Amino acid sequence: MSAPPRMPPPGAVGMPPPGGPPSGGAPPTAGYPAGGPPGPRPGAPPRSAGGAVPPPPTPSVPMYSPPGHAAQPTAHVPTTPPPPLGGTVSSAAAAVRSPGYVPLTGGELDQPLSERFHALSIGGTPGSSAPSMPAAEQTPRPTAGELSECLRWDSREGGETLIDSCHPKFVRMTCNAMPNSSSAKAKAALPIGAIIQPLAKAEGVDIPIVNFGSSGVVRCGRCRTYINAFVQFADGGRRWRCNVCGKLNEVPPDYFCDLDGEGKRRDRMERPELHLGTVEFVAAAEYMVRPPQPPVYLFLIEVSYAAVASGMLRCVAATLQHTMRNLPGGERTQVGLITFDSTLHFYNLSGNTPQMMVVPEVEETFLPLPSDLLVNLHERLDSITSLFEKLPAMFASSQAVEVALGPALRAATQVVQHIGGKLALFSCTRPTIGEAKLKNREGGGRVKEDGKSASLLQPDCDFYKNMAVECSKQQVCVDIWSCGGAYTDLATIGQLAKHTTGAVNHYPSFSDVTQGEKLSRDLQHSLTCEQGWEAVMRVRVSRGLRISAFHGHFFIRGTDLLALPNIDEDKTFAIEIAHEENALSASSCCLQAALLYTTSSGERRIRVHTMELPVTSALATLYDLADVDACANLIGRVAVDTALSSRLLDGAEKMQNACLDLLRAYRSLCPPQAKTTSQLLLPRNLQLLPLYILGLMKSPLFSQSADIKADDRSYLFFLYSTMSCTQSSAFAHPRLIQVFPPKAAFPAQDLPLHLPLSSSALTADGAYLLDDGQSLTLWLGHAVPADFMQAAFGWPSLEGIDASTLRLLPAESTQMATHVHTLVELLRASRSGGWMALRVVKQGDGDSSFVRSLIEDQTKQMMSYPEFLVHCHRYVLSRVP
| CATH number for the domain harbouring residue 551 | 2.60.40.1670
Q: CB 157: neighbour CB atoms within 10 A?
A: 11
Asked if 596 and 537 sit in the same domain, the reply is yes
**Does 305 map to a domain?**
yes
Q: Are residues 350 and 490 in the same domain?
A: yes
Q: Decide if 524 contacts 319 (C-beta within 8 A).
A: yes
Assigned domain for 467 exists: yes
The reply to whether 344 and 489 lie within a common domain is yes
Which pTM value belongs to this model? 0.86
Q: Where do the H-state alpha helices sit in 762-879?
A: 786-793, 815-829, 848-852, 865-879
Helical (H) or strand (E) element with 476: strand 476-482
Q: Fill in the amino acid letter for 605.
A: R
Residues 487 and 550 in one domain: no
| Residue where a domain stops, chosen among 593, 612, 631 | 612
pLDDT along the chain (881 residues), means of 10: 34 30 41 38 34 32 28 32 32 34 35 57 50 74 56 38 79 97 96 98 92 94 97 97 97 96 94 97 91 97 98 98 97 98 96 93 87 95 97 97 97 97 98 96 62 78 98 98 96 98 97 95 96 98 97 95 98 98 91 98 98 95 96 98 93 97 94 82 94 97 89 97 96 97 84 93 97 96 95 92 92 95 94 90 91 95 94 93 75
Helix (H, G, I), strand (E, B) or coil at 183: helix
Residue 318: how many other CB atoms lie within 10 Å: 18
User: How many whole angstroms separate alpha carbon 473 and alpha carbon 453?
Assistant: 33
Domain co-membership, 227 together with 314: no
3-state secondary structure of 175: strand
Whether 445 contacts 709, CB under 8 Å: yes
The CATH number linked to 831 is: 3.40.20.10
Q: What is the Cα–Cα distance from 414 to 404, expressed in whole angstroms?
A: 16
768 and 834 in a common domain: yes
d(CA 595, CA 860): 47
Do 463 and 315 fall within a single domain? Answer: yes
Report if residue 645 sits inside a domain. no
Residue type, position 863, single letter: M
pLDDT on residue 449: 55
Confirm whether 156 is domain-assigned.
no
Residues 404 and 479 in one domain: yes
Q: Which of 556, 578, 612 is the last residue of a domain?
A: 612
Q: Are 57 and 843 in contact (CB under 8 A)?
A: yes
Domain of residue 749, residue span: 45-75+734-854
User: Could you tell me the CATH number of the domain that includes residue 472?
Assistant: 3.40.50.410
Residue 229 has what pLDDT?
96
Tell me the C-alpha distance between 345 and 300, whole Å. 10
Please report whether residue 481 resides in a domain. yes
In a domain, 290, yes or no: no
pLDDT of residue 75: 33
Task: Choose one of 461, 494, 528: the last residue of a domain.
Answer: 528
In the chain, the number of structural domains is 3
Check whether residue 486 and residue 543 sit in a common domain. no
Helix (H) or strand (E) holding 106: none
Is 171 buried (19+), middle (13-18) or exposed (0-12) by CB count in 10 A? buried
How far is the C-alpha of 350 from the C-alpha of 334, rounded, in Å?
A: 12
Pair (514, 548) in one structural domain: no
Distance CA(486)–CA(483), nearest Å, equals 9
Does residue 572 fall inside a structural domain? yes
Q: Are residues 487 and 348 in the same domain?
A: yes
Q: Three-class SS of residue 338? A: strand
Q: Say if residue 805 is in the same domain as residue 821.
A: yes
In sequence order, the β-bridge partners of residue 491 are none
In this structure, is residue 274 part of a structural domain? yes
